[in-house]
Each structure stands twice: as structure tokens, then as C-alpha cells.
Amino acid sequence: MPPNAGSNPVDPYERFNRQVFAFNDRFDRVLVKPAAKGYSAVIPKPLRQCFANFFDNLFELTSMVNATLQGKPKTAASDTGRFLMNSTVGVFGCFDIATHVGLERDKQYFALTMGHWGVGSGPYLVLPFLGPSSVRDAIGEVPDYFTDPISYITPLKEYYLAYSVRFVDKRAQLLDATSLVEEAALDPYQFVRDAYLQRTRSRITGESAPPPPLEEDPDSSPPPAPAPSAPTGAAATPSSGEPPGDVAH
């Protein structure tokens, strides 16, 4: 636990979050990651892609609801068209035909809807089993659950089976990414936190939007001062300082 844990305004619950992060990481290493590796080894890639497309197709229902709530009729219409096309011509979503005809996937969920209407993210929060989130995003999980077709599957045995397959399939898709984080990040917790916050912010405000001042990491080094302007008539020389690095998401 870093001695200054909790000093970052965007992550006041860092001490709690790091403990949950450690629990999730242990759970992943012991159970989920081996299951995902076995899934990738046993299930042929075309079939895995079919499963991934099927679950993504179900999410179009959640996406179209939230696009409507955000006042984006074109996105809602595109999501509806994707769902209808992939559910029929795409054989229940097994094949992503809609993307090939120009209907791009644009996942929308309730946390983005709240952000679209000005609801702040609140403090960063790590949820057991679910991972990085925020107070706003955690609340958004509730309405998204009720727009998820899998939540209505009965009996419970089949519900848990469908949910487990989707969970393991998604984890299998992230095997390479998580391996990169483990190898490259000096502090995986901070890397995941900054990446999650920047990605969520960019989905709401745009890819080029700078982070709000309160969400800057106080532990990071300040950017170098700009080079002084050359006097009038003098030849401009390149600055020897390096540009400030952006936080990757």
C-alpha cells in the first residue's frame, strides 16, 4: 500500500480499492484466467468468434435503449438495425453482418447516459469480481442489468451457465491485453485506474478532451515548461525538452 494512498482526489478510496483489486487479481489468477486459457485452447477460434458476436448482439438491446435516452436517434436506429440484421441474416448474432454493410457497433450503457446528461462520475471504485468502476458507473449497472436479455433466463441453472460462458469468453478476449499490463506496468492498479477513467471520459466528452484538473494524478511529474520564443529576426531553434506524456487508456 503506497504511503500516500487516498491523496488523489479522483481516488479517495484507494486503500479500499487496492484491497479489492488484489482480491480480484487473485481470483482471476486462480480461477478465471486458467478457465479462459482452457476455453481458448479447446474451443476453435471461429466458434469463439461466434459466441463473442452472439453476446455482443444481445448487448445491442441495452445500447439502443441508452442511445434513445441520450437523444441519439441515429445511433438508436443503427443499433436496432444491427440487432435485426445480425439476429436474422447473421444467424442469431453468430455472424456480424451489420458491420460489413456499414452499421458500426457503438456500445452505449447507462453510465454513459448519466454522463451525457451531466452526472459526474464520482470517486473511482473497484467492484468485487467486476473490476474498475466509479460511483456513477456502479449505479449504472442496475438499469443495464434489466435491459440484458440474459438476466431473464430461467431456470437459474441456465442463467448461471449463460453468464459464465459470457464471462469466460470476454476474459479470453482480454488475455493478451492483461498480459501486457502485467509485464509493462510498474503499478498495475494505477495503470488500470488511469486507463479506465480516461476511456470513460473520452466516451462522454470526446477523444481529444483533456482530463479535468481534479482527476490529474498528483504523483505524476509536471509537464516541462514551453521553450521561450525566439527574438524577432532570430532563427528558431527546436526545444530540447520532451513533450509531456499522456496517460494511456
Question: Is the pLDDT confidence value at 242 over 50?
Answer: no
**pLDDT-derived band at 207, boundaries 50, 70, 90:** low
Q: Is 132 helix (H, G, I), strand (E, B) or coil?
A: strand
Q: What is the pLDDT of residues 116-171, one digit of tens each?
A: 999 999 999 999 999 999 999 999 999 999 999 999 999 999 999 999 999 999 99
Residue 210 domain-assigned?
A: no
Residue 22 domain-assigned?
A: yes
Residue 237 domain-assigned?
A: no
Residue 99 domain-assigned?
A: yes
Number of folded domains in the chain? 1
Residue 235 domain-assigned?
A: no
**pLDDT-derived band at 247, boundaries 50, 70, 90:** very low
Residue 247 domain-assigned?
A: no
Entry pTM: 0.74
Residue 80 domain-assigned?
A: yes
In a 13 Å sphere around the CA of 120, the CA atoms on its Cβ side amount to 7
Segments forming the whole domain that contains residue 187: 14-205
Alpha carbon distances (Å) from 164 to 156, 159, 167:
12, 8, 5
Residue 5 domain-assigned?
A: no
Q: Which residues contact 193 (CB under 8 A, 6 or more apart)?
A: 11, 17, 124, 132
